[in-house]
Amino acid sequence: MKKIMITGACGQIGSELVEKLREEYGVMNVLATDIREPATKTGPFEILDVMDAEKMQKLAENFGADTLMHMAALLSATAENNPVLAWNLNMGGLMNALEVARKLNLQFFTPSSIGAFGPSTQKDHTPQDAFQRPTTMYGVNKVSGELLCDYYYTKYGVDTRGVRFPGLISNVTAPGGGTTDYAVDIYYKAITDGSYTSYIAEGTYMDMMYMPDALDAIVKLMEADGDKLQHRNAFNITAMSFEPAQIAAAIQKYIPEFTMDYAVDPARQAIADSWPDSLDCSAAEAEWQFEAKFDLDAMTKDMLNQLSEKLQ
């Protein structure tokens, strides 16, 4: 049975990942850590600032962890507003986590992102091995992180694994400071206000995925036979690619009176414009049988059902 420690456990991915892993491996085999207390505790939890390398190692040792999932990070829009903080936290936290994995011989997961690509990358069907010259601090962090994870595997044999996540859509914990967050906000506003003002311009395509598929992907990749992985880190994965008018139309199928207008935020629009329109995930499909179950319509139906219960 695995013993998994997670950093950033109160974040958008972390909060649902903890529950998923507790279902899979048992409540007491998953240690959640974060810089702040969770709203509710469902198992072992410790306060951890990922800049505190010593405490990170002590917690992993005392817990008897065999796996470390490093989820704590600043997202793209926040990172662009605070580049020095983003470098220090995103890279410093990752280095600390990789060192703990090296010293304690832990299996390791950390997410990269579509943000690891830049304007000079092939926009459609972006290949697994593509040109990576991102123009955002978040992208610089993500490419560096991908390289660092490769380095720890080749130099020290640490079993590092990871995916490039697209925008993740969920109804449990709101994302914060991302560029793709509009595709989460729109569902909340559809229920509460019946309308939404998009900060992303019409015609801007980005890859997206519903959270249950993202969680399944993490578990599947971590369980995969390591001998079959040629890429290990930073696998392209996606479930759908859409632009704001298409998600609005998907919502209108269930809420016909829903309306959307635009007030484009130049900062987040510039980030979105620098990212791919759609990823090619054939490497993930071939090497560890990645698949996503939810398309835009199935996700919209589920999001609206779940949120109607929660918000009304």
List interacting residues with ligand AKB (CB under 6 A).
75-76, 113-115, 138, 165, 167, 178-180
For residues 196 and 252, give the distance between their C-alpha atoms in angstroms, rounded to a whole number.
Answer: 12
Both tokens of residue 239?
């479930």
Q: Provide DSSP, the chain.
A: ---EEEESTTSHHHHHHHHHHHHHH-GGGEEEEESS--SS--S-EEE--TT-HHHHHHHHHHHT-SEEEE-----HHHHHH-HHHHIIIIIHHHHHHHHHHHHHT-EEE--EEGGG--TTS-SSSB-SS------SHHHHHHHHHHHHHHHHHHHH---EE-EEE-EEE-SSS---S-STTHHHHHHHHHHHTSEEEESSPTT--EEEEEHHHHHHHHHHHHHS-GGG-SS-S-EE--SEEE-HHHHHHHHHTT-TT-EEEE---HHHHHHHHHS-S-B--HHHHHHH-------HHHHHHHHHHHHHHHH-
Closer by beta carbon to ligand AKB, 210 or else 258: 210
Closer by beta carbon to ligand AKB, 60 or else 71: 71
Catalytic residue, from 25, 138, 151, 210: name it: 138
Smallest distance from the beta carbon of 191 to ligand AKB, in angstroms? 21
Closer by beta carbon to ligand AKB, 211 or else 283: 211
199 a catalytic residue: no
Amino acid at 221: L
Smallest distance from the beta carbon of 153 to ligand AKB, in angstroms? 22
For residues 46 and 59, give the distance between their C-alpha atoms in angstroms, rounded to a whole number.
Answer: 8
Nearest-10 crossing angle of helices 182-192, 296-311? 50
Smallest distance from the beta carbon of 29 to ligand AKB, in angstroms? 28
Both tokens of residue 269?
């629009």
Smallest distance from the beta carbon of 138 to ligand AKB, in angstroms? 6
Nearest-CB residue to ligand AKB?
178
Closer by beta carbon to ligand AKB, 180 or else 300: 180
Q: How many degrees, rounded to 5, is the angle at CA 186 between CA 181 and CA 191?
A: 140
Closer by beta carbon to ligand AKB, 9 or else 114: 114
Smallest distance from the beta carbon of 277 to ligand AKB, in angstroms? 13
Closer by beta carbon to ligand AKB, 96 or else 238: 238
Smallest distance from the beta carbon of 113 to ligand AKB, in angstroms? 3
Catalytic residues: 138
